[in-house]
Amino acid sequence: MNPPGQAVLGMSFNRLAVPLLVLLILAMMVLPLPTFMLDVLFTLNIALAMIVLLVSLNARRPLDFSVFPTVLLLTTLLRLSLNVASTRIILMQGHTGPDAAGKVIESFGNFLVGGNIAVGFVVFLILVIINFVVITKGAGRIAEVAARFTLDSMPGKQLAVDADLQAGFINDAEARSRRADIGREADFYGAMDGASKFVRGDAVAGLVILLVNLVGGIAVGLLQHDLGVSEALGRYALLTVGDGLVTQIPALIISTAAGIVVSRASSEQDLSREFSTQVFGRPQTLFVAAAVLGVLGLIPGTPHLAFLSIAVILAGLGVWLGRRRPAVLDAKLPETEDEQLAPLDVTWDDIPPVDVLALEVGYRLIPLVDRNQGGAALARITEARRRFAADMGLVVPLVRVRDNLDLKPNVYRITLKGVEVARGEMPNAHVLAVDTGDVLGRLEGVPGTDPLTGMAGVWIEAGREEEAELRGFVVLQPQDVIARQVEAVFRQHASELLGRTEVQQLLDTLSRTHPGLVEDVTPRHLPLTTVQAILQQLIAENVSIRDTRTLFETLAARAPKTQAVDELVETVRAALGRSIVDRLFEGGDTLHVMGLSAATESRLIAEMGDEGEALLSPATLDALNEAAERALAEQQADGHPPVLLTSPSLRAILSRLLRRNLPQLSVLAYAEVPADKMVRMTSELSIEAGA
């Protein structure tokens, strides 16, 4: 015995339901049906039409009834098969009496039109015209236009989903769901555009079947059953009208449902509630309508009772709605008070998570970050994150963007793990003209600074961009300034953005391309925290970790001998030396660097001993920073990169000591310089020279 919900071949019954239904519908066209079964199927057809109409009324958006085009096809096919079955019975047994094709057809022919054949034909034609010309044609046109605009708007909607994902408003799962909904919406309206042709064809088929039943029935009655003309016309015409009405009424209901579905916009309410809220939601409109009807009811010659009674009903409804709205508001107040008097207990879920990187803006800057208002700041931030990932090999977490009413209207701030790290203010209707050092003349305006490069600039009125560009200034729009400020923050604090999650993602990516390499490093020889510390130190010294293969191969070879982070970092730097030098000197063959004098090197080594920089005296530290500033000024005056070359034993120490005051200074070890590069000392860092 099969388990519940399973069919013979392991297929569930719900998967077999539609194929079986289609086969039964097709079988009805070729197999004769008894009149009792015909009555049941006609009743079922009417019930299905009502169910489809109710579902369409309760759908909040078109995609809630996305199967409707298929339902439209199946219901149309069901009606046509019933027409074929009823036509067979009418032509074969119509001579026996008005109940030859079943009680349903007889009741529609007698009760709905009172047995009057002429009235029945007129009603049938009116229903066909309403269905074919009005409802079906209108619904088809709506579906056609909606399909066209939906297809045209798909790229924009996809970009909007990508922007929300990049801004952190939604997660990956919700983004995939939205993209799927966009595709389903386009498929739905395209299918509805084609499915509307089913209903139009059904109306035409109804007219043809009506003529076939009438002409064919009269011919059969006259030639085969020896009926008189009037008797044959009476019997077959009544059956034909009943058959036409019993199929056209469900067709009209289905067409109405199709029009409702394609004409609805997405909403959080069903159609009944939305209709009552929007049409009868304002008592003032009811009062105006009541007044107009009341005036019309007082005009002599008009139906006073009808106009005045409807006017009174509308006025009473308006009064009831006006009293009901304050009552609803008052009813909600005690709930609010109860919530304030008896708050729920605090749980861990009530603690909001801290955003790794967040951008908060004042209300006047919202258009710069709102994609719906044409703001391009998010796109610029995404481009900056992509550049940084390609340069440093680190994917910056999504930047959470929100408005903050506590900020001044034109102020924005950037937070790192909940702590403010940068802030800026935008003058109204101004752009930033940055002085690149090769400009003609000066521009009047409010002084400013490019947040990414630190170059001086000036805020000028919007509209003077062409003037500034002709003078050699680089013009930055407000959204560009915000994006560059965010980029400056994550470049400066990149090492803090490399958490355990990001390290694990990097390891997972490397495992897919180089299986076994990651396992040779972690967890076999190094814990994940040590790998994270090594990567963070490399990022802090502006070393790209894109070459993960070389990096982990070096760790795999060195980690069995030592787990000291500093030693491992120096080993990795030596392996990545060519990449480091190439980024600093842009592929030059001659490296113009600052050197460390022998006396200074001896003094530092003597003072530190085995304890490292912790034993350096404050006087030595001050003298070291002053000497580095002098050497750096000479180096930059000559147009050379700010690079200090020293011995491997001092490189890490000098990098830590000088990084705080001179973040732009890079410290290289001799072991990191490729053998095919020529080194030239252009300035010397000497503590004794400044003493």
User: Which pLDDT does position 543 carry in this prediction?
Assistant: 92
pLDDT tens column, 154-200: 666 777 777 666 666 677 777 788 778 777 777 777 777 666 677 66
Taking the C-alpha atoms of residue 196 and residue 72, their distance in angstroms, rounded to an integer, is 8
User: Which pLDDT does position 113 carry in this prediction?
Assistant: 54
pLDDT tens column, 595-604: 888 888 888 8
Query: In this structure, what token pair is assigned to residue 349?
Result: 């879920």
Q: Which of 184-188, 363-367, 412-416, 680-684 has the lowest mean pLDDT?
A: 184-188
pLDDT band at 458 (very low <50, low <70, confident <90, very high): very high
CB contact at 8 A, 591 and 643: yes
User: Which pLDDT does position 601 carry in this prediction?
Assistant: 85
DSSP codes joined into one string, 32-68: ---HHHHHHHHHHHHHHHHHHHHHHHH-SSGGGGTTH
Question: If we measure between CA atoms, which residue out of 492, 498, 552 comes closest to residue 526?
Answer: 552
Average pLDDT over every residue of 297-315: 78
pLDDT for residue 415 is more than 90 = yes
Residue spans per domain, the chain: 1-31, 32-267, 280-341, 362-495, 498-690
User: Which pLDDT does position 333 carry in this prediction?
Assistant: 41
CATH architecture group of domain 362-495: 3-Layer(aba) Sandwich (3.40)
pLDDT tens column, 106-125: 666 666 555 566 776 777 77
Say what angle helices 35-58 and 271-279 make with each other, to 10 degrees. Answer: 50
Q: Is 680 helix (H, G, I), strand (E, B) or coil?
A: strand
pLDDT band at 411 (very low <50, low <70, confident <90, very high): very high
User: Which pLDDT does position 16 carry in this prediction?
Assistant: 67
Look over the chain and give the mean of its residue pLDDT values, rounded to a whole number: 79
Using CA atoms, how far residue 399 sits from 79, 352, 372, 381, 498, in Å, is 57, 16, 18, 8, 14
User: Which pLDDT does position 150 carry in this prediction?
Assistant: 67
Query: Which CATH code of 3.10.350.10, 1.10.443.10, 1.10.8.540, 3.30.420.250 fits the domain covering 498-690?
Result: 1.10.8.540
Percent of the chain's residues with pLDDT above 90: 14
Element (H, E) at 361: strand 357-361
Average pLDDT over every residue of 419-427: 91
Average pLDDT over every residue of 298-320: 78
Cβ neighbours for 357, distance < 8 A, ≥ 6 positions apart: 396, 397, 398, 399, 400, 414, 415, 416, 486, 489, 490, 497
pLDDT tens column, 514-555: 878 888 888 888 888 899 999 999 999 999 999 999 999 999
Taking the C-alpha atoms of residue 556 and residue 570, their distance in angstroms, rounded to an integer, is 14
User: Which pLDDT does position 266 carry in this prediction?
Assistant: 47
C-alpha torsion angle, residues 648, 653, 658, 660 (rounded to 10): 130
User: Which pLDDT does position 482 carry in this prediction?
Assistant: 93
Strands 446-449 and 474-476 turn out to be: unpaired
User: Which pLDDT does position 4 carry in this prediction?
Assistant: 46
Residue predicted with more confidence, 155 or 662: 662
Percent of the chain's residues with pLDDT above 70: 79
User: Which pLDDT does position 95 carry in this prediction?
Assistant: 65
Query: In this structure, what token pair is assigned to residue 651?
Result: 């490189």
pLDDT band at 568 (very low <50, low <70, confident <90, very high): very high
User: Which pLDDT does position 487 carry in this prediction?
Assistant: 92
User: Which pLDDT does position 325 carry in this prediction?
Assistant: 57
Taking the C-alpha atoms of residue 638 and residue 632, their distance in angstroms, rounded to an integer, is 10
3-state SS record for 517-559: HHHHHCCCCCCHHHHHHHHHHHHHCCCCCCCHHHHHHHHHHHC
3-state SS record for 573-642: HHHCHHHHHHHHHCCCCEEEEEEECHHHHHHHHHHHCCCHHHHCCHHHHHHHHHHHHHHHHHHHHCCCCC
Question: If we measure between CA atoms, which residue out of 255, 215, 242 comes closest to residue 119?
Answer: 242
First to last CA, the chain: 99
